[in-house]
Amino acid sequence: MGLTYRKAKMKLTYREEKPEVYKMRQLTFPPLGYKQLLSEVEVVGVTATQTAAVVEALVNRMTFVLSLGHAVQLGSFGTFKPTFNSKVARSLKETTLDTLKVKKIQFYPGAAFRDMLGSLDLMEDKAVSEKEPEGENPDGGDGE
pLDDT tens-digit readout, 115-125: 998 899 998 88
Residue 84 β-bridge partners: 103
pTM (2 d.p.): 0.66
Residue type, 12: L
Task: Give percent of the chain with pLDDT exceeding 70.
Answer: 87
pLDDT-based confidence at residue 41 (cuts at 50, 70, 90): confident
As a residue count, the chain comes to 144
Per residue in 12-32, pLDDT tens? 888 778 788 888 888 888 889
Residue 139, pLDDT above cutoff 70: no
> Tell me, what DSSP letter sits at residue 17?
T
